[in-house]
């Protein structure tokens, strides 16, 4: 089995390189189905333990048993890249999967978001996540399950709150405002030369402490790691470990449509040109391809969700047909899903794909609204900002250590679920160890403060 | 320069090997442990509805529970949401909504929608009793004349030597794995891997006690009253049996007459007719006189009733209970009142009040399933002084 796919694999690689794909070598490995299932749950082959993954695991297990989900591969960017193939895959399926993975590998080597994240993270997220897992196992040995869990409850609840544009390694804010007095002003210089008006000794100038944070801070994981009043070293390490993994997940999340589309485009193209494949294997592989990029609406009149593989695949075909491969390669390097959809989901393509916007009321009634391209783009992108999490940031760090968070309800369109928000503050309070408050709005739009512990 | 990619296969047996180290299963077990903990913290409420009395005596209680949610910030549920879809429709068309909201998995307010998964926790009655009785004790228990030392063996630690019946296979397997982790070529087991459970001999002061459970089963007791009373007795019996190895329990039920029952029948008994409490107290008094010398036994009486007693019985009931109270370590009364306001205002409550002024005792009204546990907690702790209640 491995030998057969290895032979095809090398032939596919030669083909891919000839077409202009460029990537770090990939370590392909066949793994048991149970391994695949866990990767789907944890997002990484070896990841820190937490009970919440256990719940997801059971759902995944049930879905798997009911035959709802089948995973062919998972791929991790890096140098070398890693790809895991499900042991249950047939040879034609694996042929397609290898071609698909090569597309991903090209994408992650060149796409700007991936590149920056890997440069900062060091091209070996799989090993790093495993070392985080070891670090947390050691913390459990030393500090006990309950205490470690308390930290992870908080850190993983805030998983989405990072600021990728400020980078993985971030300095603390400057402690003091920059001094305004400069000596380039000749009047000042001469004034200070007058008798009795000596300047204060240098270094004794009253410096002004800078506010913390100087601006609303979205990177909650970083902020807590840096500024929590009584966080212990090992607790900080856990926060930073979770943050590092989030920084890795961000490009995967923010480029899903492009990345899956790109890989699907390439597996289709490489298979088409793989004349070394026997006819029946080619047909089986193409059958798998059409299952993967099938629109959700294929066997129904309409679907209320869009298959990202299908959308991305069609968009790339459209771009390459109309603008050529060179332009496509530039786009895969520079864009993320937001610019990709805004710039390249054209009105005619949307029409061809029969995309529409719908409105769903609470009572279950669903109505088709329109096919307006701008509104459509917004509707596709809306759940993709910042891991789809509500916009919560740090507003103020009070002198007594109280942490004040604010929810930007205007940009999210409505307030937070207050009961859940209180629970998250409770997690947070256990590591922050001072009062934590959060401003949002209630159902009527009136401002509402949630706090933990509850105000006396 | 471009290095080629590499391909590695996986062998047939790898699946089994991998499952031994399943992280998903590990985290799932941890989740269940937390659920168990949460259930344990509010066991009385959880158990309130559980059917423990019906049918043959199962040694477990099944409790349906929900998965724990790891909370995240989330927007409130919208009155209306918009999304993008795909298909052959035109603006204004009304669509049927398949199952759930797009983009949102079955996470919701709904009653039992865990995506069709229902988690049922099976709790051992012995475990429940252990948790609940940890700090509960028979009140005023004293070492009595003639009491001997109890010999008791308890498990404590492991030893490398022992008889085969005490071999701890799990523990031995662990040792073997540890050794083979260092030396993969080594044999499956060597003598050094074997671990045996050790028993340690402990001497405990013996305390002899007899506990009488008396229940009014007359027709004025409604089904709910019986259910409450029996639930109370059930947990008390389970707890005492677990806590005290040497304990005698006597079960008495009465209407206008009183009978002694074996435990199994006591929990099934139903009666009809009026209420003459003195018959029960009299029977208990006679049993004490015949079988349990107060000089050698700690004597306890717990009596459950709706509080209505035959008017003419006031004198005899008070007299019989008074005699009992004089020799008893504790007399407890649980009432199942018709309404919470009338609790402990009844004829029978009055008798207990007058009798327990100079003997340790207490009264408690059972109004809800939860109050069963409050009653148990109220009775089975160190009573501060005689005459409480």
What residue in A sits closest to B76 (Cα-Cα)? A417
Contact A96, A267 (CB under 8 A): yes
Residue A10 is nearest to which of B4, B80, B83, comparing CB atoms? B4
Q: Which two tokens stand for residue A11?
A: 């032939």
Question: Could you tell me the pLDDT band of residue A113, with boundaries at 50, 70 and 90?
Answer: very high
pLDDT at res. B110:
32
pLDDT higher than threshold 70 for residue B14: no
CB contact under 8 A, A389 and B81: no
Tell me which residue in A30, A156, A416 faces B70 most closely, judged by beta carbons: A156
- The span from the CA of B258 to the CA of B271, in Å, is 11
Q: What is the C-alpha to C-alpha distance for residues B212 and B327, in angstroms, rounded to an integer?
A: 13
Closest-CA distance of chain A to residue B24, Å: 5
Q: Is the distance from CB of B332 to CB of B363 less than 8 angstroms?
A: yes
Parse chain A into domains and list their residue ranges. 1-149+234-292, 293-386, 390-452
Chain B residues in contact with A38 (beta carbon < 8 A):
22-24
Most confidently modeled range among A361-375, A402-416, B352-366: A402-416
pLDDT of residue B107: 35
Which residues 53-82 on chain B approach chain A with CB closer than 8 angstroms?
67-68, 70-82
State the count of interchain CB pairs (< 8 A) between A and B: 257
**Is B96 near chain A, with CB under 8 Å?**
yes
Q: Is the pLDDT of residue A139 over 90?
A: yes
Is B85–A297 a contact, with Cβ atoms under 8 angstroms apart? yes
d(CA B316, CA B280): 11
**CA B181 – CA B204 distance, rounded (Å):** 44
Closest residue in B to A350 (Cα) is B86
Establish whether the linkage from the previous residue to A229 is cis, with ω within 30° of 0: no
Exposure of A135 in the CB half-sphere (CA atoms within 13 A):
18
CA-nearest of A407, A339, A300 to B74 is: A407
- Residue range A447-454: mean pLDDT, rounded: 93
**Cβ B23–A427 below 8 Å, yes or no?**
no
Name the minimum distance, in Å, from the CA of B110 to any CA of chain A: 13
Write out chain A residues lying below 8 Å of B15, CB-based: 32-34, 87
Cβ–Cβ contact B148 with A under 8 A = no
In sequence order, what are the beta bridge partners of A176? A209
Region B321-333: mean pLDDT is 89
Contact yes or no for B72 and A420 at CB 8 A = yes
For tokens 């920056």, the residue is A116
> CB B10 to CB A153 under 8 A?
no
Query: Is residue B11 within 8 angstroms of chain A, CB to CB?
Result: no
Cβ–Cβ under 8 Å, residues B12 and A2: no
Angle between helices A220-227 and A418-432 (to 10 degrees): 30
Residues near B86 by Cβ (< 8 Å), separated by ≥ 6?
A295, A296, A297, A302, A303, A305, A306, A307, A353, A354, A355, A356
Are B71 and A157 an interchain contact pair (Cβ–Cβ within 8 Å)? yes
Count CB atoms within 10 A of the CB of residue B268. Answer: 11
CA of B74, closest CA in chain A: separation in Å?
A: 6
* Residue B214 φ then ψ, to 5°: -120, 140
pLDDT at residue number B89: 87
- Give the Cα separation of A56 and B157 in Å (integer): 37
Rounded CA-CA distance A279/A228 in Å is 63
Judge whether residue B149 has pLDDT over 60. no
Question: Mind listing the pLDDT tens digit for each residue in A52-71?
Answer: 999 999 888 887 777 666 78
- The string over A78-110, giving b where at least 16 C-beta atoms fall within 10 Å of a residue's C-beta and e elsewhere, is bbbbbbbbbbebebbbbbbbbbbbbbbbbbbbb
Mutate to test the interface with A, among B8, B71, B103, B117 (most CBs of A within 10 A): B71
- Chain A residues near residue B80 by CB distance under 8 angstroms: 359-362
Note whether A361 and B81 are within 8 A (CB).
no
Cis preceding linkage at A453, omega within 30? yes
Pairing between β-strand B196-205 and β-strand A392-397 as defined by DSSP bridges: unpaired
- Give the mean model confidence (pLDDT) for residues A371-393: 94
Decide if A35 contacts B25 (C-beta within 8 A).
Answer: no
Residues of A in contact with B24 (CB under 8 A): 34, 37-38, 41-42, 53-54, 57-58, 60-61
Helical (H) or strand (E) element with A268: helix A256-273
- Taking the CB of residue A48, how many other CB atoms lie within 10 A of it? 27
Q: So what's the pLDDT on residue B203?
A: 60
Q: Enumerate the residues of chain B whose CB falls inside 8 A of the CB of residue A389.
A: 72-73
> Any CB–CB contact under 8 A between B41 and chain A?
no
d(CA A161, CA A244): 11
Q: Which of B1, B3, B5 to mutate to test the interface with A (most CBs of A within 10 A)?
A: B5
Q: What is the pLDDT of residue A416?
A: 96
CB contact under 8 A, B6 and A25: yes
pLDDT-derived band at B50 (thresholds 50, 70, 90) equals low
Query: The pTM is what?
Result: 0.75
Which is higher by pLDDT, B292 or B136?
Answer: B292
The reply to whether residue A297 touches residue B87, judged by beta carbons under 8 angstroms, is yes
Average pLDDT of the segment spanning B195-223: 81
Mean pLDDT of all residues in chain A? 91
The larger pLDDT score, comparing residue A298 to residue B14, is at A298
More confident position, B3 or B190: B190
b/e A327-345 (16+ beta carbons within 10 angstroms → b) = ebbebbeebbbbebbeebb
Q: Which two tokens stand for residue A49?
A: 């333990």
Beta bridge partners of B155: B199
Give residue A175's pLDDT: 84
More confident position, B338 or B47: B338
**Is the confidence at residue B340, as pLDDT, over 60?**
yes
Inter-chain touch B85–A304, beta carbons under 8 Å: yes
Contact B85 A423 (CB under 8 A): no
Q: In A30-77, which ranges are continuous DSSP H helix?
A: 33-42, 51-65
H/E run at residue A336: none
Q: Is A6 helix (H, G, I), strand (E, B) or coil?
A: helix
Give the HSE-up count for residue B9: Cα atoms under 13 Å, Cβ half-sphere.
11
The CA distance from A253 to the nearest CA of chain B, in Å, is 15
- B18 contact residues in A (CB cutoff 8 A): 31-32, 34-35
Q: Which residue of B has its CA nearest to A377?
A: B84
β-pairing, A81-86 vs A26-31, is parallel
CA distance B385 to A29: 74
Strand order in the sheet with B209-216: B258-261, B247-254, B209-216, B298-305, B330-335, B361-365
Query: Distance between CA B29 and CA A325 in Å, rounded?
Result: 51
Torsion on CA atoms A334, A266, A254, A72, rounded to nearest 10: -160
Highest mean pLDDT, choosing among A81-85, A87-91, A198-202: A81-85
How large is the average pLDDT for residues B219-248? 83
**A448 pLDDT exceeds 80?**
yes
- Say what the pLDDT of residue B344 is: 83
Continuous segment of H or E residues that includes residue B63: strand B60-65
| Mean per-residue pLDDT, A150-161 | 97
Helix axes A256-273, A91-110, angle to 10 degrees: 130
Rounded to whole angstroms, the Cα distance separating B128 from B239 reads: 9
Q: Domains of chain B by range and CATH? A: 19-69+118-124 (no CATH), 150-205 (no CATH), 209-379 (3.40.50.410)
Calculate mean pLDDT across residues B269-288. Answer: 89
- A13 CB neighbours in chain B (<8 A) are 4-5
Please, which residues 101-140 of chain B have a Cβ atom closer than 8 Å to chain A? 101-103, 115-117
Predicted local distance difference test score (pLDDT) of residue B54: 52
């Amino acid at each position: 089995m491995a030998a057969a796919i290895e032979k095809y694999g090398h032939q596919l690689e030669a083909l891919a390189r000839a077409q202009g794909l460029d990537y770090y070598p990939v370590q392909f490995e066949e793994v048991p189905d149970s391994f695949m299932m866990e990767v789907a749950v944890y997002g990484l082959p070896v990841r820190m333990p937490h009970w919440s993954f256990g719940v997801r695991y059971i759902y995944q297990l049930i879905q798997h048993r009911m035959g709802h989900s089948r995973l062919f591969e998972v791929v991790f960017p890096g140098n070398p890249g890693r790809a895991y193939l499900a042991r249950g895959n047939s040879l034609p399926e694996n042929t397609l999967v290898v071609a698909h993975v090569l597309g991903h590998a090209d994408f992650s080597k060149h796409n700007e978001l991936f590149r920056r994240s890997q440069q900062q993270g060091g091209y070996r997220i799989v090993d790093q996540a495993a070392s985080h897992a070891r670090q947390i196992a050691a913390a459990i040995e030393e500090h006990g399950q309950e205490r470690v869990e308390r930290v992870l409850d908080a850190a993983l609840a805030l998983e989405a709150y990072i600021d990728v544009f400020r980078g993985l390694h971030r300095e603390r804010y400057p402690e003091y405002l920059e001094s305004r007095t400069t000596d380039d002003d000749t009047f000042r210089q001469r004034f200070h030369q007058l008798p009795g008006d000596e300047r204060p000794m240098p270094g004794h100038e009253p410096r002004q402490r800078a506010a913390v944070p100087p601006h609303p801070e979205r990177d909650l994981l970083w902020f807590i790691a840096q500024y929590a009043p009584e966080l212990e070293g090992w607790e900080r390490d856990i926060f930073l470990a979770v943050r590092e993994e989030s920084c890795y997940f961000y490009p995967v999340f923010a480029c899903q449509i492009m990345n899956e589309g790109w890989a699907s485009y390439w597996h289709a193209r490489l298979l088409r040109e793989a004349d070394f494949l026997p006819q029946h294997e080619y047909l089986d592989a193409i059958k798998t391809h059409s299952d993967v990029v099938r629109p959700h609406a294929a066997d129904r009149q309409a679907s209320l969700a869009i298959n990202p593989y299908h959308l991305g695949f069609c968009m790339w075909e459209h771009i390459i047909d109309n603008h050529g491969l060179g332009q496509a390669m530039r786009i895969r390097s520079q864009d993320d899903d937001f610019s990709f959809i805004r710039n390249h989901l054209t009105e005619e393509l949307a029409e061809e794909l029969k995309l529409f916007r719908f409105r769903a009321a609470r009572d279950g009634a669903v109505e088709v609204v329109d096919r307006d391209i701008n509104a459509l783009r917004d509707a596709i992108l809306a759940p993709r900002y910042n891991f789809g999490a509500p916009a919560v940031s740090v507003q103020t760090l009070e002198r007594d250590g109280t942490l004040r968070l604010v929810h930007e309800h205007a940009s999210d369109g409505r307030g937070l679920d207050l009961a859940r928000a209180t629970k998250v503050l409770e997690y947070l309070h256990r590591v922050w160890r001072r009062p934590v408050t959060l401003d949002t709005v209630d159902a009527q739009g009136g401002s509402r403060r949630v706090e933990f512990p509850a105000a006396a | 320069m471009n290095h080629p990619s590499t391909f590695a296969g996986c062998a047939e047996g790898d699946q089994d090997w991998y499952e031994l180290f399943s992280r998903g299963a590990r985290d799932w077990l941890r989740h269940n442990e937390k659920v168990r903990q949460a259930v344990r913290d509010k066991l009385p409420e959880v158990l309130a509805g559980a059917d423990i009395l019906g049918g043959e005596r199962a040694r477990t209680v099944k409790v349906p529970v929900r998965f724990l949610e790891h909370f995240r910030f989330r927007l409130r549920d919208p009155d209306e949401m918009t999304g993008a879809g795909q298909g052959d429709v035109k603006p204004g068309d009304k669509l049927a909504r398949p199952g759930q909201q797009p983009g949102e998995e079955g996470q919701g307010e709904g009653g039992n929608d865990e995506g069709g998964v229902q988690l049922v926790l099976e709790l051992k009655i012995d475990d429940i009793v252990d948790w609940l009785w940890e700090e509960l004790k028979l009140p005023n228990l004293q070492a009595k004349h003639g009491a001997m030392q109890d010999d008791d063996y308890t498990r404590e630690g492991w030893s490398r030597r022992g008889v085969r019946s005490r071999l701890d296979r799990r523990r031995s397997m662990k040792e073997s794995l540890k050794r083979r982790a260092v030396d993969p070529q080594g044999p499956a087991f060597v003598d050094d891997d074997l671990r045996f459970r050790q028993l340690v001999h402990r001497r405990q002061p013996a305390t002899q006690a007899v506990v009488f459970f008396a229940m009014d089963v007359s027709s004025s007791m409604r089904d709910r009253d019986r259910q409450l009373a029996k639930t109370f007795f059930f947990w008390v019996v389970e707890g005492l049996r677990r806590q005290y190895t040497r304990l005698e329990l006597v079960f008495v039920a009465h209407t206008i007459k009183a009978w002694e029952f074996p435990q199994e029948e006591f929990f099934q008994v139903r009666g009809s007719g009026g209420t003459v409490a003195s018959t029960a107290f009299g029977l208990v008094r006679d049993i004490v006189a015949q079988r349990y010398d107060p000089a050698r036994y700690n004597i306890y009486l717990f009596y459950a009733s709706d509080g209505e007693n035959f008017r003419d019985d006031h004198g005899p009931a008070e007299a019989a209970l008074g005699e009992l109270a004089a020799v008893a370590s504790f007399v407890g009364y649980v009432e199942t009142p018709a309404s919470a306001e009338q609790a402990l205002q009844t004829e029978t409550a009055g008798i207990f009040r007058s009798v327990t002024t100079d003997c340790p005792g207490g009264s408690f009204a059972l109004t809800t399933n939860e109050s069963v546990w409050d009653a148990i907690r109220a009775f089975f702790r160190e009573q501060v002084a005689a005459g409480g209640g």
